[in-house]
Amino acid sequence: MQPDRLEELFQRYLDQTISPEELTALQAVMAGNYNREIIDRLLERAFSNGSYIAQGTDHAPEEVYREILERIQSASAKERRIIPRWYYAAAAILGILVAVAAWWQLRPVRESAIVPGGPHARLTLADGRVITLDTAREGTLVRMGNLRIIKSGNGALSYQLTAGSTIPAQENILTTPAGGEYRLVLPDGSKVWLNAASELRYPPASHGNVRRVQLRGEAYFEVTANEQQPFEVVSGDMRVQALGTAFNVNAYTDEKVMRATLLSGAVNISRQRGMQRLQPGQEAVCSMEQPGILIQEADTGAVIAWKNGSFVFDDMPLEAVARQLSRWYDVEVEMEDGIKQTLVSGVISRSSPLPKVLTILGMTGKLNYTVAGRKIIIKG
């Protein structure tokens, strides 16, 4: 959220002229770790000049502060500061803002509301059979000799191969539509979270010297270690090779770059013109139009927020935000050229109805939107 807009919403809160929608937008920004210096300054100023007085709490200010701090600080906070007095006011303010968010969640939702995505996917077998996982029964879906493909009740697919047995080399394809996501457990125990509008091609059992999969879209991987058989993800001309590690790959064809972000372990990133090794907390950025690999520090929490059920936007261009919303809510988003680079910020649950998300973004970026069927039109 732009500083002047944040100050405007905060002052409206103090003046008690803020609307429920504006409160929701303010809550989304304050719940994240962004704009911290501005928020700190606003709270200190409000507390110092008496604009805000905390009232009606059953807990000691220190207890309230610590509770709220855990929610608004990074889980990996480096050093704790001495708690200034005005942070107690922050705790009370955030309590009210959280209550507004709860009110929104409990309000009646119109039947025409566009709902968020969920566990939707289809599985294509090597023999051409296609299984729609949304409607398939739970339990064993396919049995091929010593291999079983099993659907569990929480939106996950797993492969179980009898120890010591082998099956012919073949390829399965797991595809999520716009508005879908799915989890996969491979025979070696490696886990994959597949984001919306994505496709993963993989062998039901490992063959050769490399465990190789092909990805279009986005996925998070937790790879079982095997030094004799590295795990490799191929996306376009980018290859990510790991022995045993956790990483995220974003390789949507409608994005300008591909990204591989490392959370733990180590991976090698290779393209036609070289190879780079990532360390935890780093990401490799590969342009779709230019060769080479750029290594930079990454906000890993924001990168894998989708896997954990959240959107995290930190001064992200509106057109990039729109692509994420389009994939998750299965909608078409149209906007004026002049607002495509408008920067928006917020931390929003992916389970939120689309109107709520659009309202929050509208407040943070001074934007208006209209809904026509499954088409969203955004204007400045």
- Tens of pLDDT along 252-284? 999 999 999 999 999 999 998 789 999 999 999
47 and 178 in a single domain? The answer is: no
Pair (175, 286) in one structural domain = yes
Range of the domain at 75: 3-106
306-361: per-residue pLDDT in tens?
A: 999 999 998 899 999 999 999 999 999 999 999 999 988 888 999 999 988 888 88
Split into its structural domains, the chain has a count of 3
**Do 152 and 36 fall within a single domain?**
no
String of DSSP letters for 23-88: HHHHHHHHTSSSSHHHHHHHHHHHHHTTS------SS-HHHHHHHHHHHHS-TT---PPP--THHH
Of the candidates 271, 302, 333, which is a domain's last residue?
302
For position 278, what pLDDT does the model report?
96
Q: Does residue 232 surpass a pLDDT of 50?
A: yes
- Is 57 part of any domain? yes
- Cβ atoms of 321 and 347 closer than 8 Å: no
The last residue of one of the domains, among 80, 106, 132, is: 106
Average pLDDT value for residue range 167-194: 93
Q: Taking residues 59-65, what's their average pLDDT?
A: 39
Identify which of 12-16, 57-61, 83-87, 257-261 has the greatest average pLDDT. Answer: 257-261
| Per-residue pLDDT, 32 | 60
pLDDT at 120 over 60: yes
Give pTM, 2 decimals: 0.73
Same domain, 298 and 313: no
Residue 261 shares a structural domain with residue 177: yes
Note whether residue 81 is domain-resident: yes
Domain membership of residue 117 (yes or no) is: no
Q: What is the mean pLDDT of the chain?
A: 81
277 and 180 in a common domain: yes
Q: Which of 316, 286, 285, 310 is nearest to 298 (CA)?
A: 285
pLDDT digits (tens, 9 = 90+) for 22-54: 777 777 776 665 566 676 666 656 544 444 433
Same domain flag for 179 and 211? yes
- Could you tell me if residue 116 is inside a domain? no
Predicted local confidence at residue 162, as pLDDT: 78
Query: Looking at the structure, do residues 158 and 290 belong to the same domain, yes or no?
Result: yes
* Whether residue 172 is found in the same domain as residue 71: no
Least confident among 50-54, 199-203, 221-225: 50-54
Q: In Å, what is the CA distance from 60 to each residue of 55, 57, 63, 96, 301?
A: 12, 8, 5, 17, 31
Q: Based on the fold, state whether residues 209 and 128 are members of the same structural domain.
A: yes
Provide, rounded to the nearest whole percent, the portion of the chain with pLDDT above 90. 50
Q: Which CATH number does the domain housing residue 328 bear?
A: 3.55.50.30
